[in-house]
Amino acid sequence: MIRFAMIAALSLAACSPGPATQSAQKGASAPMMDDPYLWLEEVEGERALEQVKAWNASTAAELTADADFEAYRQRGEAILSNPDRIATPYHIMGDMVSNFWTDTKNTHGLWRVATIDDYLAGTPAWRTLLDLDALSEAENKNWVWGSVTCLAPEYDRCLIRMSDGGSDAGVLREFDVSRAAFVEDGFVVGEAKHDFTWVDADTILISSDFGPGTLTQSGYGRQVKMWKRGQTLADAPLIKEIAVEDVGFGVSYGRTRAKNYPLITRNMTFWDYEYFHVRPDGSLVKVPMPQTATVSEMFAGKGIIQLNAPWGAYPAGSLLAYDLDALIERGEFGVEPVFTPTKAQSVRQIAAGKDRLYLAMLQDVSGKLLALDADWRASEVPVPDNSVVDLEAAGGTADIAFFTAQNFATPPTLFATQMGAEPAAIASLDNLFDPATVEVKQHFATSKDGTRIPYFVVRPKGATGPLPTVLHVYGGFRGGQLPTYLARHPSRIGPMAMFWVEAGNSFVLANIRGGDEYGPEWHSQVLKENRQKVHDDLYAVGEDLKASGLSSTLAASGRSNGGLVVGAAYTQRPDLFDGIIMGVPLSDMWRYDKLLAGASWTGEYGDPDIPEEWAYLGKYSPYQHLRADADYPPIMIYTSTKDDRVHPGHARKMAARMTEQGHKVYYFENIDGGHIGAADAAGEAYRAALMMIYAKDTLTTAE
């Protein structure tokens, strides 16, 4: 499976350039607006942190005093750090499977390996490669796992990224698997937003912060170097450079037909790319395909292209293939069709096994798994009905793929399939609640433009009439929201959704546009000037819940881009919602592109420095639309000081202006944790308990 690490999809600003932030300031041509809270953009500023501490203390004083808070916190931590979790495959490394494991004893985590045969037999003899808890103690750091890429086919050398505190920026260190130790005098780089991959045992590709002038406006590297062992990084030759206005680079490699193929991705915007294969001498060969398409995998000697917009006779969502050696060695390029999804389908994941190409799909937001042979003949791999299917790892010396299946009422089960055959269950989690106590139904609302918007409703079995409801959304960056197990629901709600339903309430997940639930066009319909459709979808679901008698009181929840969506709902439709949970949010769309990775998202939202684009951004930017005379519901905002993707200034300034205007705000900022907002199970459980008490106090007392 090709892995791109440079840009993490979100999960994911009115004034003159403010105090120093963690990223370079982008020049602005639009008129500046007054903003008295620019000082809150100073991430580690003394005044800003004092304000954060005061807000945290106020929120804790109100919410942790609830008699149920501690029980929820303790139960949440037990669930999130449960040692009986599935040891899910992280990578397949030849005849081994790797896993990254955390529990109450190993809060930072263990990276470990076992043989595939032992793993399939259910008796893995794990060998620990790296103990992050021990490393953190020895080096007096708060090491948080990032990513690892190992060199096939031996998998004896790996490049590891980890960060101090959980930020996107991290350090790079080379690791020797046989010795389970870092390589002395190996490839090592200090903290930055790196991307890197192998070329051969003595050569890597790296994009990073190489000094002044080497970063894009988004804070990512604008140069790729080919770094050979024994060279200094400064002496490594430059093989590709992009404009400062581009987003940045991704580097990766794929392996097929016993060959490794290094690949460079130039991200011109968040959704426009150029791909270059790298020859051994460092020269590049461009893949001549649309800039909206992606090279998603390599299989059977072919590069697999996924279309995100129509290309000639091929519709958006189609998979095509081209011959790798023909292009790289002879400059010959042609495509052949691999798979075309229907209008109701979406290809979510693609992974190459030894002899099968595996596609994890959705059909009306229900999971399917296909296995394609080298002639593109597809067979359906049986999976549980009404489940979400996630490919975990594929490849190795045998044709094997691991996948998990789950739904709201059924915890994950790990399966293995070989040669696309009937899958075998490897491990499953015990239920944390009786599935017979809940009922799950899919409904459809009609948005303002007539589009049918699916949403799932989870209620106590046998419940009648309207219930207090938490409605969760995301709505951007092709980030589909899927009906996964309630106790571990995605988007960092953690066990709060389960607690909420157990208490007799309703949890709703809405598949508003902006995700990939129905393929790339479900996302492209709402880019830039069409963004209001995302908000209209949310309001359509909320109105449908009330009109159908399902919801009494209603809160909207979202994080990252979803935090922006519910922040806009706070200002646009306070009549519809009784509460808002706004997590690690964007809020100031005038300045969002000046802060951290924000400049990389202009392809999604638009550029506020272009008057025509600010005209539509300014219509929903929450920070600019706050009013003292509005009747807003109580709101809970959470973020992280260490979030170096969505700047914590968004949350801070939103809270400051609301407080100034006299609105009720619960604010929580975790110091560690990066964009996920928590560095460990304890931090995530604490936040889940805060959200639960907030929802209980806000929605059940408002009935």
Residue 559, both tokens: 């994080």
DSSP code at position 615: H
- Compute CA 284 distance to the chain's CA centroid, rounded to the nearest angstrom: 30
Residue 347, both tokens: 């290809």
Name the strand (E) or helix (H) holding 508: strand 506-510
Burial of 590 (0-12, 13-18, 19+ CB in 10 A): buried
**Is 548 considered catalytic here?**
no
- Catalytic pick among 108, 523, 535, 675: 675
CA atoms of 443 and 460, how far apart (whole Å): 16
Q: Which amino acid is at 234?
A: A
CA distance between the termini of the chain: 50
Q: Where are the alpha helices (DSSP H) in 464-610?
A: 496-502, 520-524, 532-547, 561-572, 602-605
Residue 665, both tokens: 């705000």
Q: For residues 399 and 419, is the Cβ–Cβ distance under 8 A?
A: yes
Residues 6+ apart with CB under 8 A from 464: none
* Strand 378-380 with 284-286, pairing: unpaired
Burial of 27 (0-12, 13-18, 19+ CB in 10 A): exposed
Q: Which of 491, 500, 490 shows the shortest CA–CA distance to 433?
A: 500
3-state secondary structure of 241: strand
- Residue 56: φ, ψ to 5°: -60, -45
* Strand 579-583 with 551-559, pairing: parallel
SS3 content of the chain, % helix, strand, coil (to 5): 25, 35, 45
CA atoms of 190 and 213, how far apart (whole Å): 18
Q: Which residues pair with 333 in a beta bridge?
A: none
CA atoms of 381 and 365, how far apart (whole Å): 17
**Is 647 considered catalytic here?**
no
Name the strand (E) or helix (H) holding 580: strand 579-583
Q: Which of 203, 254, 473 shows the shortest CA–CA distance to 357?
A: 254
- Catalytic pick among 252, 560, 587, 621: 560
Q: Which amino acid is at 630?
A: A
Q: For residues 596 and 647, is the Cβ–Cβ distance under 8 A?
A: yes
- What are the Cα distances from residue 458, in Å, to 80, 174, 468, 550, 648? 21, 46, 12, 10, 32
Handedness of CA 131, 136, 142, 147 (dihedral sign): negative
* Strand 635-640 with 579-583, pairing: parallel
CA atoms of 548 and 465, how far apart (whole Å): 9
Q: Which of 487, 458, 488, 482 shows the shortest CA–CA distance to 551?
A: 458
3-state secondary structure of 658: helix
Q: CB pairs under 8 A, 24+ apart, for 22-27?
A: 22/219, 22/596, 22/644, 22/647, 23/218, 23/219, 23/594, 23/595, 23/596, 23/597, 23/598, 23/599, 24/215, 24/217, 24/219, 25/594, 26/217, 26/593, 26/594, 26/599, 26/609, 27/609
Catalytic center residues: 560, 675
